[in-house]
Structure 1
Amino acid sequence: CQELALPTIVSLILRPKCVPLSLTVYIVQHRRVEVALNDGTRHLARIVAEDRHLDIAALSIDAHGLPTAPLGESVDLKPGHLVFAAGHPWGVEGAVAAGVVIAVSERRAEFNPTRREMIAVGLNLRPGNSGGPLADAQGRLVGINTMLTGPSVGLAVPVHVVKRFLKNALGSRAA
Structure 2
Amino acid sequence: MNGFRPDRREFLALAGSGLVGAIAGCAEPRSADSMEGSSSASIERTIDPDDRADGSTFTDVYEGVIDAVAQVRALGSGSPYSSERGGGQGSGFLVDDSHLVTNEHVVADADTVDLQYINGDWSDTEVVGTDFYSDLAVLKVDQVPDEATPLELAAERSVVGQEVLAVGNPYGFRGSMSKGIVSGVNRTLDMQGRAFSFSNAIQTDAAVNPGNSGGPLVDMNGEVVGVITAGGGDNIGFAIPATIASRVVPSLIETGTYDHAYMGITLATVDRYIAEANDLAEATGVIVTGVEPGDPADGVLRPAKPRPRDSIPVGGDVIYAIDGKPIPDRHALSSHLALRTSPGDTIEIECRRYGDETTVSLTVGSRPPAR
Normalising by structure 1, what TM-score? 0.83
Post-superposition offset of 1:56: 0.9
Aligned to 2:127: 47
Give ranges in structure 2 of 5+ residues lacking alignment: 1-77, 82-86, 191-195, 257-371
Contact 2:225 2:241 in 1 (8 A): yes
Give ranges in structure 1 of 5+ residues lacking alignment: none
| CA distance, structure 2, for counterparts of residue 91 and residue 155 of structure 1 | 19
Aligned to 1:4: 80
CA pair 108-128 structure 1, distance change in 2 beyond 3 A: closer
Aligned to 2:155: 73
Post-superposition offset of 1:40: 1.3
Q: Which has the higher contact order (CA 8 A, sep 6+)?
A: 1
Q: Which stretch of the first structure deviates more once superposed, 130-139 or 30-39? A: 30-39
| CA distance, structure 2, for counterparts of residue 58 and residue 118 of structure 1 | 19
Contact 2:137 2:252 in 1 (8 A): no
CA pair 142-133 structure 1, distance change in 2 beyond 3 A: same
Query: Of the candidates 174, 184, 187, which is equivalent to residue 103 of structure 1?
Result: 184
The answer to whether the aligner puts 1:18 opposite 2:99 as a matched pair is yes
| CA distance, structure 2, for counterparts of residue 74 and residue 155 of structure 1 | 17
- Please give the secondary structure, in 1, of the residue aligned with 2:100: strand
Normalising by structure 2, what TM-score? 0.41
Post-superposition offset of 1:126: 0.3
Q: Which amino acid aligns with 1:116?
A: S
- Please give the secondary structure, in 2, of the residue aligned with 1:10: strand
1:47-67 Cα deviation digits (max 9, x unpaired) = 000001111100001125552
CA pair 90-8 structure 1, distance change in 2 beyond 3 A: closer
CA pair 124-78 structure 1, distance change in 2 beyond 3 A: same
Decide which structure has the larger Cα Rg and report it.
Answer: 2
Contact 1:82 1:100 in 2 (8 A): yes
| CA distance, structure 2, for counterparts of residue 29 and residue 108 of structure 1 | 23
CA pair 150-4 structure 1, distance change in 2 beyond 3 A: closer
- Please give the secondary structure, in 2, of the residue aligned with 1:169: helix
Question: What number of residue pairs does the alignment pair up?
Answer: 167
Query: Of the candidates 180, 205, 209, which is equivalent to residue 122 of structure 1?
Result: 205
1:63-84 Cα deviation digits (max 9, x unpaired) = 2555211332351x21011111
CA pair 31-74 structure 1, distance change in 2 beyond 3 A: farther
Aligned to 2:137: 57
Aligned to 2:164: 83
Q: Which stretch of the first structure deviates more once superposed, 131-140 or 57-66? A: 57-66
Q: Which amino acid aligns with 1:54?
A: S
Q: Which stretch of the first structure deviates more once superposed, 80-89 or 28-37? A: 28-37
